[in-house]
Amino acid sequence: MKTILNILFIALLSQSCAQNIKQSEEASNSFPDSLKIKKTDEEWKKILPKEVYDVTRKSGTECAGTDKFKNNKEKGIYHCYCCDLALFSSDHKFNSGTGWPSYFQVYDKRNIHIEIDSSLGMIREEVSCARCDAHLGHVFDDGPEPTGLRYCINSVALNFKKKNK
Ligand SMILES: [Zn+2]
């Protein structure tokens, strides 16, 4: 009998936790819930290349200098690799010398979700895709004018689409 009570108590506790998390997510994110793309970890693992999965779903960081867009001078839009949402424009890309693609502005603020990340003993602002929650990178306040921001993004999290002339 005592065991059953314990199980019930734990079940109740975990349910209230789940509700709390959901409420805070909704409050901090303006992207419409009905338009979000939700997949399980297993589903993402099946459809994404390993390096993309590790960065976007496990908050990994690609090695500096492996930026696949390093020599990309084309005009166009950088989309989320996972869900194809437009995230950054070539008009806002700059050479930060860090080895990661860097932008001083996002394509559309609604498409980006920013959250405090206190991992690795640092306080950083984590940047993720507002539609599918893909981890993209971090934003720092040492970027160029006019925003003073530096969105430091993993290139594997992005897909480039050239602007049609
Ligand atoms: Zn996405």
Q: 3-state secondary structure string, 51-98?
A: HHHHHHHHCCCCCCCCCCCCCCCCCEEEEECCCCCEEEEHHHEECCCC
120: CA distance to ligand 1 center in Å? 24
Active site residue 152: yes
38: CA distance to ligand 1 center in Å? 10
What is the pTM for the complete model shown? 0.80
Q: What is the dihedral of CA 23, 29, 30, 32, to 10 degrees?
A: -70
Q: Catalytic residue among 80, 129, 132, 152, which?
A: 152
117: CA distance to ligand 1 center in Å? 19
Write down the pLDDT at residue 27: 43
The Cα–Cα gap between 126 and 154 comes to: 12
The Cα–Cα gap between 124 and 121 comes to: 9
Which of the residues in the chain have pLDDT under 70?
A: 1-29, 165
56: CA distance to ligand 1 center in Å? 9
Q: Is 118 exposed, middle or buried (0-12, 13-18, 19+ CB in 10 A)?
A: exposed
Write down the pLDDT at residue 22: 43
9: CA distance to ligand 1 center in Å? 37
Write down the pLDDT at residue 30: 77
What are the strands, taking DSSP E only, across the chain?
A: 76-80, 86-89, 93-94, 102-103, 112-117, 124-129, 135-140, 150-153, 158-162
Q: What topology does CATH give the domain 37-162? A: 2.170.150
SS3 state of residue 135: strand
